Amino acid sequence: MCYQCAAELMFIHMKLLANLSVASLLATCHGFAEVKLIREYLLKPPRDRRIIFAMTVTPEHDVLSLVANDDGTWRLSRVRRWLDKQPLEDSLTIPGLVQGGHEGWSQWHIWSSELFATPDGKFAVCIVSAYPNERLARNREDLVSVVSLAQFKIVMSVHTSALKQVSGNHRTYRLDRRGYLVVNASTSFPRHPGDDPFFGGASHKFAILTLPALDVTDGCEYVEWLRSGSVVRREKEDDCATLLQNSGTNSLDEFSKTLLQTAGVAQANDKGRPPECAFLTYASVTSRDGRFRWERCTGGHRGFFGNFVVSKAVENIFLVETGQKLGTIKVPSDHPLQSRFATLDGMDYLLVMEGGTRLTVYQIAS
């Protein structure tokens, strides 16, 4: 059996070299367990090594990618039937924060983007965020656009940062199991010399927004104190009683468990990190059904000025029940990358999106 696995491994390796793929595959020889390259698909330009993008997979297994354009707009791409030799691709222009074309990018910094698909598969939620370069500007600005996936067109766009119900320095966005958009806006309390660096607090504005209208249907305010990233005390949580009752929960902690894990369940515990994987870039995510886990492991060296230089990156795929490593995928160390698990027709896949424009499909056989 090992000779057969070795032969299959050599065949896959030769195929990747022939296709000039940016990813190469090293399958482990454990019975029939393997991670096998199935398909590569290049989406429409633009392509950039440092481009900002977000990725998600819809309940219908379509792959969505949100990519920044030079002119300040964004492009939402949808790839359907990604197992076919010729997948179907649609694209849609999404508004952004930049005004004035390419030069307008210089007026903003610390960009981020998020992309969600609702549980019923009806809508995609595109979120673009950045901080203005204005002096003393501390509040991030966000633009949320809702796209009908049936019609593949924008049905609503709102600058949520301009809504008083969720005003603040920073906002997080999640979907709950009912299909609402949950927004939590936080404003950190001022810090002073001599303050405990591991202890601090923030005021929160918590709101539930309907989809696709993005109307605020419920909200509350509370105060939260944290030590080393963990909540140690909340104040005014009683003000959220009506919101919690409407959601069928009794506390903010219980409500947080109703929020959907659109990308899988991130593993925050660092104890499982292999010593050869760099701490700052390590990531580990378990599939939503709890069967598989992937970890992104990077290695490198110290540069001339003492900075860490990433020289290699891999994604390892494991079977959660036994801990067996199913395979290792070599991935680019200098490109933005996102990965999602998907199940289609009883088969399991890992979908890897590079730079928002290169989709690579791996089949997981366990």
Q: What is the pLDDT of residue 218?
A: 96
Q: Give the CATH number of the domain where residue 88 resides.
A: 2.120.10
Rounded-to-integer distance, Cα 66 and Cα 340, Å: 15
What is the tens place of the pLDDT at every residue in 172-230? 999 998 899 999 999 999 988 989 989 999 999 999 999 999 999 999 999 999 998 88
Count of structural domains within the chain: 1
Which has the minimum average pLDDT: 53-62, 229-238, 297-306, 318-327?
Answer: 297-306
Q: What is the pLDDT of residue 305?
A: 60
Give yes or no for residue 10 having a pLDDT over 60: no
Whether pTM > 0.85 for this model: the answer is no
Give yes or no for residue 351 having a pLDDT over 90: yes
142-164 mean pLDDT: 97
Tokens in use for 10? 């050599």
Q: Which domain holds residue 322?
A: 2-365
Q: What is the pLDDT of residue 306?
A: 64
